[in-house]
Amino acid sequence: MSLNKKEFESTINLNLKKRYSYFIKKIADYEEVWSLSNEKGWVTSEDEDGRIQLHFWPTEEHAAYCAIDKWEGTVPEAIELEDFIEAWIPGMKSDGVGVSIFYNNENSISVDVQKLKGDIEEELKNY
């Protein structure tokens, strides 16, 4: 699914809570999650406690917007939502990896992987 320019511009600068809500609704609707990767793997950062975080976006366009600076040379890659729920979330939990949602080159929301899973499953009840 391609995102139109107006929707992109209206969502990239939403506050953290609204960006998170948009993320949950969009990934449930499109049944995919986006991240950035290159030959070295998926993009990561560290939270304020030094814990590794993986980054996820609701659309290819939002992910591509962040493929600059330290992530230059990375490309958006889709993850099927079912795979994300069944394999990625348990893997991140067991590895102690954090989750950064909808970075906009300024900030993102960090959430516990179990909360993320619960929020996705709750949204999927609407489908």
**Helix-helix angle 16-30:113-124, to 10 degrees:** 60
Q: For 67-93, what is each residue's pLDDT tens digit?
A: 999 999 999 999 999 999 999 999 999
Q: Which two tokens stand for residue 62?
A: 């939002």
- Output the pTM of the full model: 0.94
Using alpha carbons, select from 39, 42, 122 the residue that is nearest to residue 85. 122
Q: How many separate domains does the chain show?
A: 1
The pLDDT, as a whole number, for residue 115 is 97
In the chain, % of residues over pLDDT 70: 98
The pLDDT, as a whole number, for residue 1 is 57
Determine the Cα–Cα distance for residues 68 and 85; give it in Å rounded to an integer.
28
Q: What is the largest CA-CA distance in the chain?
A: 39
The residue segments making up the domain with residue 63 are: 5-124
Task: Read off the pLDDT band of 7 (50, 70, 90).
Answer: very high
Q: Which CATH number do you get for residue 101? A: 3.40.1350.90
Q: For 10-63, what is each residue's pLDDT tens digit?
A: 999 999 999 999 999 999 999 999 999 999 999 999 988 899 999 999 999 999
The pLDDT, as a whole number, for residue 23 is 98
